[in-house]
Amino acid sequence: MKNIIKLLFLPVLSIALFGYVFTNSIQPKLGLDLQGGISVILTADEDTEPELIEQAVEIMRTRIAAFGEVQEPEISISGENSVLVQLPGLTDQEKALEAVGTTGLLTFRPVINSSLQLGYSPALSYSENPDDPENPIVSAPAGVDELTGLSINDDPSTTSYLLSLTDGFPIIYELGPAELTGNDIDDALAVYPSNEWIVQLNFKDNSADKFTELTKDLASKIGEQRKLAIVLDEQVISAPRVAFDVSPDIGITGGTASISMGNVDQGESANNLAVILRYGALPVSFERSSIQKVSATLGENTLNLGLQAGLIGLIIVSIFLFLYYRLSGLIAILGLASFGALFYSVIALLGEWQGYTLTLAGIAGVIVSIGLTADSYIVIFEKLKDELKIGRSFNFATEKAVKEAWNTILVADFVSIIASIILYLLAVGPIRGFALTLGLATVFDLFYTRMFISTAVPFVGRITDNPRFYYPLSRKDIESV
Partner 1 sequence: MFKKLFLGTTEIDFKLLGNKFYKIFIVEAIIFSAIIIASLTGILSMNLSVDFTGGTTYQLDTIYTDEDISEVLNNNILEVSRYQTFENSNNIIFRAVESSQENETQFLNYLSNKFDVITNEIEFQRVGPTFGQDITEKGIRALVIFLSLIALLISIRYEYRYAAIALIALLHDLLLTFSIYVLIGLEITPSTVIALLTILGYSLYDTVILFDKLKDSQKTFKISNLNKDVLNKTFNEVLMRSINTSLTSAIPIVSIIVIGNYLGIEGNLADFAIPLLIGIVSGTYSSIFVTVPFLSKIIKTN
Interface residues for partner 1 in 26-45 (CB under 8 A)?
33, 41, 43
Q: Using the minimum distance from each CB to partner 1, give the nearer residue, 28 or 122.
A: 28
Binding of partner 1 by 423 (CB under 8 A)? yes
Q: Nearest distance from residue 107's CB to partner 1, in Å?
A: 24
> Exactly one of 4, 16, 118, 309 binds partner 1 (CB under 8 A); which one?
309
Q: Nearest distance from residue 418's CB to partner 1, in Å?
A: 6
Q: Nearest distance from residue 308's CB to partner 1, in Å?
A: 5
Q: Nearest distance from residue 372's CB to partner 1, in Å?
A: 7
Binding of partner 1 by 320 (CB under 8 A)? yes
> Exactly one of 429, 443, 447, 450 binds partner 1 (CB under 8 A); which one?
429
Query: Interacting stretch for partner 1, rule CB under 8 A, among 110-118, 147-155, 163-171, 361-369?
Result: 361-369
Q: Using the minimum distance from each CB to partner 1, give the nearer residue, 267 or 313.
A: 313
Decide the pairing of beta strands 357-358 and 29-30. Answer: parallel
> Exactly one of 368, 443, 446, 460 binds partner 1 (CB under 8 A); which one?
368
Binding of partner 1 by 288 (CB under 8 A)? yes
Q: Using the minimum distance from each CB to partner 1, give the nearer residue, 173 or 344.
A: 344
Binding residues for partner 1, rule CB under 8 A, total 79
Q: Using the minimum distance from each CB to partner 1, give the nearer residue, 4 or 481.
A: 481
Binding of partner 1 by 297 (CB under 8 A)? yes
> Exactly one of 13, 52, 337, 419 binds partner 1 (CB under 8 A); which one?
419
Q: Using the minimum distance from each CB to partner 1, give the nearer residue, 197 or 286.
A: 286
Residues 6+ apart with CB under 8 A from 264: 192, 195, 197
Binding of partner 1 by 404 (CB under 8 A)? yes
Considering only CA atoms, give the Rg of the chain: 34
Applying the rule CB under 8 A, the residues between 48 and 107 that interact with partner 1 are 79, 91, 93-94
Binding of partner 1 by 446 (CB under 8 A)? no
Q: Using the minimum distance from each CB to partner 1, give the nearer residue, 89 or 176.
A: 89
CB atoms inside a 10 Å sphere around CB 265 = 9
Binding of partner 1 by 436 (CB under 8 A)? no
Binding of partner 1 by 447 (CB under 8 A)? no
Nearest CA to 26 out of 352, 376, 378, 288 is that of 352
**Measured between alpha carbons, how far is 375 from 386 in angstroms, rounded to an integer?**
16
Binding of partner 1 by 385 (CB under 8 A)? yes
